[in-house]
Amino acid sequence: MESRRTGTINVWVTDAVTVTPFGDNLNALWLAVLAGKSAIRPLRRFAVKSYHASIASYIEDLTAPDDRSMSHALVERLVRRLDPMPPNTILITATTKSGIDNLEKLRRGIPADPADVLYSGFCEDVRRQLKLTGECFNISASCASSTMALAQGAELIASGYTDAVLVCCMDLVTEFVFAGFSALQALAAGPCRPFDRDRDGMSLGEGAAALLLMNSEHARLEGRPHLGTILGWAAANDAAHITAPARDGRGLRQAVLQALDIAGRNADEIAAVCAHGTGTVYNDLMELYAFNRIFDNRRLPIFSIKGSIGHTLGAAGGIEVAIGFRTLSEQTALPTVGFSSPERGAEKKVSMEPQAFSGDCLLTTNSGFGGINAALILGKGSLQ
């Protein structure tokens, strides 16, 4: 079925790399989550005795060079694995707090580069390391940041504005962020349990991802691999609360239905869902309600990887899209680590075991503070 967008250019993803506590490559992440492993463990980066939780998923050997943010070391690990970029590639970065660890240093009188705290510092760091000369901008849309960045990149290519967009996303586990979620009483004392009826909060995580989006014709001409296609994209705001989602999932439903329309797909063509699945009470309930409305209670695999790597905030969507393409390639939905007793609506959909499926389209979504919801429809690539 062709897209309802007349003359739309196919948006291929030709490269996807991730950095997580499971290593600096996507395969290591895939195998760890597939095996039901979790990187959520006691946090030793800073003192946690004053907070509601003492655990997180973080990269233990990630350090800050001199007066710079840890973000530089994370970006270096990320970009060194990327294939060469096409000329004039547009760069879109996505993060919620960039190098906020340097703000902590500055407030404590420790020498630090204040430029790292700015979103522009992330953009310039990636540009410098990859020697990019094209346009560059950052998207900060709470926990939907990288999903929004990928949607923006896909639109730029589909509209004919450019032939290549690199989306880079990252966020760190810092005391600033940890303290904020602790103050909101959003952190679970133990590892998070997405879609479990006894869930009691989220676990923070850190990581990064980079995905190269290209006009399919140019990708073919350059002999680029086809990891998958971004078929549809959309965003909507439910405008319900500054931090909590609308209980009826109206914003998420609107985003998914608009993404399906752009993709030219029907709900029954979606074979699996990579959900936001934070493990918080209201987010997970809202998602299940929305998905069951959209898919008419059809039994299809729904999974979250946040029980394995925690909530990586602005990097979550990018990491999950990379996982989503691997999910389609393997025709296997990953287990939801931490899940054991299904919340109402999760029965026979969410599983603690891998689930085989058959189909060419996957839905992935993210939601965030301020009522933002973003959805992407992913299509299977040609690599086997």
| Co-location of 187 and 56 in the same domain | yes
Structure tokens at 231: 């078929």
Contact 375, 361 (CB under 8 A): no
Contact 122, 95 (CB under 8 A): yes
The pTM of this model reads: 0.96
CA 360 – CA 379 distance, rounded (Å): 6
Neighbours of 49 (CB within 10 A): 5
Total domain count, the chain: 2
Task: For residue 239, tell me if it sits in a domain.
Answer: yes
Q: What is the pLDDT of residues 251-307, one digit of tens each?
A: 999 999 999 999 999 999 999 999 999 999 999 999 999 999 999 989 999 999 999
Task: Determine the Cα angle at 62 with ends 67 and 80, to 5°.
Answer: 95
Q: Which of 141, 202, 172 is nearest to 68 (CA)?
A: 172
Q: Where are the beta strands (DSSP E) in the chain?
A: 11-19, 40-42, 55-57, 90-94, 136-139, 164-171, 207-215, 228-237, 270-274, 302-303, 332-333, 355-356, 361-368, 372-380
Regions in the chain scoring below 70 on pLDDT: 1-8, 242-243, 383-384
- CA 269, 145, 312, 171 dihedral sign is positive
Q: What is the pLDDT of residue 384?
A: 47
Per the structure, the complete domain to which residue 85 belongs is given by 11-221
CA 14 – CA 164 distance, rounded (Å): 10
| Co-location of 177 and 240 in the same domain | no
Residue ending a domain, among 186, 204, 221, is 221
Q: What is the pLDDT of residue 247?
A: 76
Task: For residue 131, tell me if it sits in a domain.
Answer: yes
| Co-location of 270 and 203 in the same domain | no
Q: Which of 82, 83, 114, 116 is nearest to 97 (CA)?
A: 116
Q: What is the pLDDT of residue 369?
A: 84
Task: For residue 152, tell me if it sits in a domain.
Answer: yes
Task: For residue 4, tell me if it sits in a domain.
Answer: no
Q: What is the pLDDT of residue 242?
A: 67
Residue ending a domain, among 221, 246, 279, is 221
| Co-location of 53 and 154 in the same domain | yes
Q: What is the CATH number of the domain that holds 305?
A: 3.40.47.10
| Co-location of 328 and 201 in the same domain | no
Task: For residue 3, tell me if it sits in a domain.
Answer: no
Structure tokens at 33: 């989550």
Task: For residue 5, tell me if it sits in a domain.
Answer: no
Residue ending a domain, among 221, 242, 266, is 221
Task: For residue 1, tell me if it sits in a domain.
Answer: no
